[in-house]
Structure formats: structure tokens, C-alpha cells
Structure 1
Amino acid sequence: MSTVLVTGATGFIGRRLVPALVEAGHDVRAMTRRPEAYDGQGTPVGADVSDPDSLRPALEGVDVAIYLVHSLDDPDFERKDADAARNFSAAAAAAGVSQIVYMGGLGDDDGELSAHLRSRREVEGLLGTDGVPVTVLRAAIVVGHGGISWELTRQLVKNLPAMVVPKWVGTRTQPIAIDDVVRYLSGVVGKEEALGRVFEIGGPDQLTYREMLQGVALAMTGRKLPIVVVPLLTPGLSSRWLALVTDVDVTTGRNLIDSMSTEVLVRDTSIRDVVPGEPITYAESVRRALAERAEAGLEK
């Protein structure tokens, strides 16, 4: 088994991934800026991707580093994420890390990518600058309790009896359950056949955002939601509207909306050769997300 460092160990994906890696028998280091407050599994280590000096001791003796860091809520996120990736690449190479696993964004390279997806692509390349093989998993919307995109969807359905929405609701995407994301991330750790490769991951359903909203409405209320499309609702106006009816801030909302006009579908299913298994349907991933929220004592 491997010594695995998980950055963003307290985040949406990280806090689920660490226990899965421990269960698989790995020696796991949970990287966080506040190790004294960490109460999850694994060994907490204090480090910050913006501080190169802090990364060296955190990565010492690590075989595989899983990189789950992004700055989507920062207006200058592209520069910050690029600088952080450069820092991490250099520190990982100096420590002799044999593999970096990165969670990227799904989307055709030859298409017009949003700033958010462009940044994810840039980070993919920068993480491998100093020679450590990088394994990239590209995903669209991840469905699970606590995820930003999921919370956006859930809160819209909960707070609005009807919706006036931009034309991006007709864009197709391929959502994936958080359980499958964790399974794939854990499954590529230490795999020789995964080194230096980019994998596309998604659930079995290709849906428009309108269909996703309706699926959540049916699960939460048992009925469909009236939706009216307004072609002239700009990303700027959309993000301000989201900030009014959800707790997602304007900057994060704008970055997410910019990505929603781009069709993001899985074209390559080779991940299944490395990590076999059938992914969870959208309906089931929604059911699990709502059930986890209820178990946490929160209302729908």
C-alpha cells in the first residue's frame, strides 16, 4: 500500500476520500491549513499550496499526492490556482512523489472553454511541470450533499415555486455521484496504467440542466417545476439572481454559470478499464444526497 497525501482533506470530496483510502489500507495524510482542528481519519498535516516552504515537510515520504484545491470563490482564481499548481509540482518532484492525482473539469479541448474550465486545464499541465506523472480525472457536476453545484440546484428547487432561467438550461451535461468520484479517485492511486493519463468520468445519464432541475423537483416535492426560459438573461445578472435566492456568492455563481453554456459529456470511457464498475444513476445520486442531508438533521 502507499503513503497518500490528500490536499483539501476537509472539503466536499476530500472528507469522503480520506476514509475510503484508509479503508483501502493506505497510510493517509490529511493536508489542511488548520491541522489542530482536524477531526477526521488519517494523519493531519499542516500546509498551504500558496506557501512552498510548508509543502516540503508535508510531502516528505509521500508516494501519491491527490490534488483537490481550487479558488473558485476568488475573482483572481486563475492566477492563484496557477501559482499554487507550480508550487505543488516543484515540491512533489523534490520529495520524490511518484504520482499526482488531480480532479479536473470535463469539456472538449477544442471547444470554447469557460475561464473556470480553462483554469482547470492549465492546472493539469502545471502539476506535471517538474516531471511527476499526473493522473487527471475530469468530471462535470458532482452530485452529493455539501457540493456547491448540488447545493445550487437543491436550493433553487427549494426556494422557488417557479423559475425564470437563462438559455443555458438547455445545455447537456453528465452529472456524477460523489460516491463514484471517490471510487475513481481511490481506484487510480498507485496504478501504473493510470500514470500520465487523462480520464473522463461521469454517471450513466446525459441530461440538460432543465432535466436535472426537474429531477430534483420530483425527488423533493413529487411534482415538476414550472420553468420559463429567458434568452437575454446575462451571466452577470444570473449570478446576482443566484446570490439572492441561494447562499452561493456572486463570484462563485458567476464562475459556475460561465461553465454552464459549454456542453460537457463523457466521450472516452477508458476509466472503466482501470476502475471497473457501473456508475450510479442521477436519480439515485439525488436520492442519496437528500438522504444524507436528512441524516445530518437538515431540512430538504
Structure 2
Amino acid sequence: MAHQKVLLTGPTGFIGKRLLYQLDERGYQVRCLVRAGETLDLNLPLRQEPEIVYADLLDPDSLPTALDGMDTAYYLVHSMGGRSIRQTRAFVEKDRTVARNFREAADRAGLSRIIYLGGLGDAGDRLSHHLASRHEVARILQAGKVKTTVLRAAVIIGAGGASFEIIRYLVERLPVLLGPRWVYTKSQPIAVENVLAYLCGCLETPETAGRTFDIGGPQILSYADLMGMYARVRGLSRTIIGVPLVPIRLSAYWVHFITPVPVGVVLPLAEGLRNRAICRENSIRDLIPIHLTPMETAICNALAEETEGPGKLLSQQACFLPGDLA
């Protein structure tokens, strides 16, 4: 299967850059679609240099060259948000446009597969603008001729990801944490390494073509649970006080004030946590059997990567896993 030619969109992002290394490790020929003006900075050398093509998904005329000769495409393009709340709202229409442009270009190019990482949540649950947009992108891609696999994930825990960085900065900096209502909503977080295993597994498992799968880790937890877990594995004493009446927008500005995560990213994440995000089905576990990483270990893996740099093996010197606690 490694002879397949794979187009990777979003190769500079949190998931995309990691996926590039995974695909390279498995021997795939990867072409990275990069926007003009962006640079693909690689922290570690690859076995083979990826082909880089510059294109703009808002410009349909730039896409045929990017897709020419490709077998499968990973669609990792979505707008978590902008620097500001106003930018976040504007990105919904942009996501819709680029998804349509990509679907039409993929149909014309005759791709065999598209694999898309979307968001977990049911349409009947009054979804946030962000999650509703992720679902709409999935529908747009699956409406084309190319068989599109959709993976739906909730909170993804890994170094550099918005969810983990919010938790890390809040817990490291504040001995007393104020918990608005959204931090107590239950979800099924998943380690970034498990997301990558599923993304690669879909490429190598033809039975996943054209289907939608929920993906999640082995535990159902809230953001408050994750913050408490982070404190424990770091050996920190922290208190979380619930403040359920604080509006979501105000809490987003508060998180932005404490962390480097832009308010335009915090707000859609917080709004998305109005609803429980738990896997309704687990059929992917039979098709792609992997070991699901417990969140304690996922947090330690992320801490080790923050300390030592991407790609380094786990060092638990900075972590106290539950079994090690007195």
C-alpha cells in the first residue's frame, strides 16, 4: 500500500505535521499542499523529502496541479478560529467554500479516497457554530464522487494542541482555577498518537472508505477532570471552584488572558463543550484495533514533548503517574 501517492492538506498544523512524519515512516510518497507565504518547518529529518506544492483552497484554479496524480488526500483544513471572535464567525463561510472547491477538484482529478478529521457531536444537540461547520464540511466532502472517510473526534490531547495548551497554562499558573459550566461537560478525549494511528489505519483499511466513525479514548472525562489529572501527574496542588453562571464569551476572554491561546480559538472550543461529545459507536475499534492511550499517559507524553521537542521518546521525569503517587 505504501506505493500510494498521498496529498496532505494542512501539513503545518497540529495534526498535519505529525501525520507527515507517520506517513513518511510508513513509506508513503507525500505531497504537501501549502499556502503561498507559509513555510513547512520540519523539526526532525524525514526519510524522504516530501513534494511541496503551493495552492490556495479559495482559488479553484490552483488545485488541479496539487491533486494531479494523487491517490488519496487527507483533508485537515478547518478553522478552529481566528485571533478574534469576529474572525471566528467569518471562517464558517470560508470553510464551506474551500470544502466545495476541494470536493469538485478531487472529483475532476479522480481521487480514490479522501480522509477527513472532523468534530464529535450530534446534529440534534444544538451544536456550536464551530462543530456545525465541521459537520457541514463532512457532508460537503461526502456528497462528491470520491469515497470520503470521516473521523469524528472530541478533545485531542497532545503538545501544541489548543486543548492541552489551555489546560497546561491554566494549571501551571493558577493555584485556584475558576471553572465555568463548560469545563464540567463530559467528553471522550483522545491522545494525538491514537488519532494519528486511526488516520493512517484508514488509509490502509479499504473497509473504512466512505464511512463515518467516532473516535475517542478509553475514558469519559470533563475539562475539569483533565485539569485535575494534569495537576496530579505534575505533583501540583490545585483547587477548582465552579462558577457556572459566567458567560462563555467572558470565560473565553479570561482563558485568553491567562494563556497564549487566542480568544478566537478558545471561544469555539468552549462553545463546543456545551454538549457532551461521547462516541455513539465504536466500530472503528474492530477495523483498526489499537491500544487506546489513557489520559494520564497522554498528558505525560505531551509534557515530555513540550520539554524535549517533537519526536523524542517519552521521559516521565516530569510526571507522576497515578501508580507513583504517595
Report the TM-score when normalising by structure 2: 0.87
Q: d(CA) in 2 for partners of 1:273 and 1:83?
A: 35
Corresponding residue number in structure 2 for 1:9: 11
Residues 80 and 35 (structure 1), Cα distance of their counterparts in 2 relative to 1, 3 Å cut: closer
Corresponding residue number in structure 1 for 2:56: 48
CA contact (8 A) 2:175 2:239 kept: yes
Corresponding residue number in structure 1 for 2:228: 214
Corresponding residue number in structure 2 for 1:281: 294
Amino acid at match of 1:226: T
Describe the superposition over 1:50-73 as per-residue Cα deviations: whole angstroms up to 9, x where unpaired: 121111100001111001111222
* SS of alignment partner, residue 104 of structure 2: helix
Extract unaligned runs of 5+ from structure 1: none
Corresponding residue number in structure 2 for 1:241: 254
The alignment of Structure 1 onto Structure 2 pairs a total of residues equal to 297
Describe the superposition over 1:16-66 as per-residue Cα deviations: whole angstroms up to 9, x where unpaired: 101211222221111111488335442212112112111110000111100
Q: Tell me whether 71-80 or 60-69 shows the greater mean CA deviation.
A: 71-80
CA drift at 1:190: 5.0
User: Is 1:78 aligned to 2:92, yes or no?
Assistant: yes
Corresponding residue number in structure 2 for 1:187: 201
Residues 252 and 36 (structure 1), Cα distance of their counterparts in 2 relative to 1, 3 Å cut: closer
Corresponding residue number in structure 2 for 1:290: 303
Describe the superposition over 1:213-252 as per-residue Cα deviations: whole angstroms up to 9, x where unpaired: 10111122x1342111112100111111111111111221
Q: Which runs of 4+ in 1 moved over 6 A?
A: none
Residues 224 and 36 (structure 1), Cα distance of their counterparts in 2 relative to 1, 3 Å cut: closer
CA contact (8 A) 2:179 2:224 kept: no
Cα RMSD, aligned residues only:
1.7
Q: Tell me whether 185-194 or 228-237 shows the greater mean CA deviation.
A: 185-194
Extract unaligned runs of 5+ from structure 2: 82-86, 311-317, 319-326
Amino acid at match of 1:67: Y
Q: d(CA) in 2 for partners of 1:35 and 1:280?
A: 36
User: Is 1:107 aligned to 2:121, yes or no?
Assistant: yes
Among 218, 224, 245, the alignment partner of 1:204 is 218
Q: Tell me whether 149-158 or 43-52 shows the greater mean CA deviation.
A: 43-52
Corresponding residue number in structure 2 for 1:172: 186
CA contact (8 A) 1:214 1:224 kept: no
Q: d(CA) in 1 for partners of 2:249 and 2:225?
A: 23
Q: d(CA) in 2 for partners of 1:164 and 1:279?
A: 30
Among the aligned pairs, what percent are the same residue? 43
CA contact (8 A) 2:8 2:74 kept: yes
CA contact (8 A) 1:85 1:123 kept: yes
Residues 213 and 52 (structure 1), Cα distance of their counterparts in 2 relative to 1, 3 Å cut: same
User: Is 1:158 aligned to 2:160, yes or no?
Assistant: no
Q: d(CA) in 1 for partners of 2:27 and 2:287?
A: 19
Q: d(CA) in 1 for partners of 2:144 and 2:183?
A: 40
Q: d(CA) in 2 for partners of 1:238 and 1:148?
A: 15
Amino acid at match of 2:194: D
Report the TM-score when normalising by structure 1: 0.95
Describe the superposition over 1:140-168 as per-residue Cα deviations: whole angstroms up to 9, x where unpaired: 11111111111111111112111122122
Amino acid at match of 1:249: P
Alignment of 1:128-147 (within 5 A): 128-147=142-161
